[in-house]
Amino acid sequence: MTLSDRLSQLPLPIICAPMFLVSTPKLVIECCKSGVVGSFPALNVRPQEKLDEWITDIKSALDEFKTSNPEQVVAPFAVNQVVHPSNSRLAADQAIIAKHQVPLVITSQGNPSDIVEQVHSWGGQVFHDVIKVSHAKKAISAGVDGLILVTAGAGGHGGTLNPFAFVREVRSFWDGPIILAGGINDGFGIKAAQSLGADMVYMGTRFIATQEAQVDQDYKNMLIKCAIEDIVFSDHFTGVHANYLIPSLERVGINVQDLISKGKVDLDLGNTNFWTDIWSAGHGVGGINDIPSIQELTNKLLADYKTAAML
């Protein structure tokens, strides 16, 4: 069965987005068992040599589950590769991905041409993150199999384009898979994305507030308490614009109004670790009111998705 066939059989057209320092084998495995494509960034694995162990564990767990549950639809998993030249691990990580013939590779921040050629050699597919129409056209020229349109409101590194306009313009020249990212938080959002012309959606923030996500409990609690007004979009911390939870900035002493007005903050943050102490979230955070298991979450998403389909 091809990857396209497997994706078409999923009960929900969802990819759980690869989230830096959030996505782990446990999260990936539970998503896939629930019929959602689980993914993780290769850069989450430290040291680099443990990537082989991560992928082995994921494959073994899913194979065992399939054997015990032959009637269950189990989603494939994906690994995210940052293809920017600054990623010194790219070649080493890709060698391990090739060893395991990972079915889906998600590329971002660069030219995916070399990755596409490699992944196609074992029958896998490559989906590429884009935030502009020009990026989408370059990715198509590079031979990617799917486009992930990262729009305004996406958690983590987000885009600025309106999803309605972005999807419709890309769909005018691309008939391949489109995956829409940006504030999608429930089954109604999934159905709306498909009505626009997307085939699947990216969901990240909603899966952080689950029992299986191995993050600080305060992070999950903050997601429940926050709403869309509690998100700020800034490139101050990593050089790339991303959406952050304002309370996570304030708790380490950042004056958010200064950040908004000046674009940066003149503050010695001492031992603050930007990667672990400042938390990202998308615009859909206002719809998070609990911390369910992934199975409970997907059941709710599916029920809402079916309800939306009847409206």
What residues contact 180, with CB distance under 8 A and at least 6 apart?
A: 148, 149, 151, 163, 167, 193, 196, 198, 200, 201, 202
Q: Which two tokens stand for residue 163?
A: 């999803």
CA distances from 64 to 23, 50, 141 (A): 21, 21, 39
> DSSP character for 97?
H
pTM: 0.95
Separation CA 77–CA 147 (nearest Å): 17
Q: Tell me: the pLDDT tens digits for 171-193? A: 999 999 999 999 999 999 999 99
Dihedral of CA atoms 17, 242, 223, 215 in degrees, nearest 10, equals: 60
| Nearest-5° Cα angle at 208, 292 to 66 | 70
CB 150 within 8 A of CB 129: yes
Separation CA 78–CA 71 (nearest Å): 22
Mean pLDDT in residue range 115-124: 97
Q: Which two tokens stand for residue 101?
A: 């013939």
Judged against a pLDDT cut of 60, whether residue 252 lies above it is answered with yes
Judged against a pLDDT cut of 60, whether residue 3 lies above it is answered with yes
The pLDDT, as a whole number, for residue 235 is: 87
Domains recognised in the chain with CATH numbers? 3-211+289-309 (3.20.20.70), 217-277 (no CATH)
Q: Tell me: the pLDDT tens digits for 22-47? A: 999 999 999 999 999 999 999 999 99
CB 5 within 8 A of CB 29: no
Q: Which two tokens stand for residue 302?
A: 């599916």
Mean pLDDT in residue range 206-221: 97
Separation CA 265–CA 82 (nearest Å): 28
Judged against a pLDDT cut of 90, whether residue 269 lies above it is answered with no
The pLDDT, as a whole number, for residue 311 is: 85
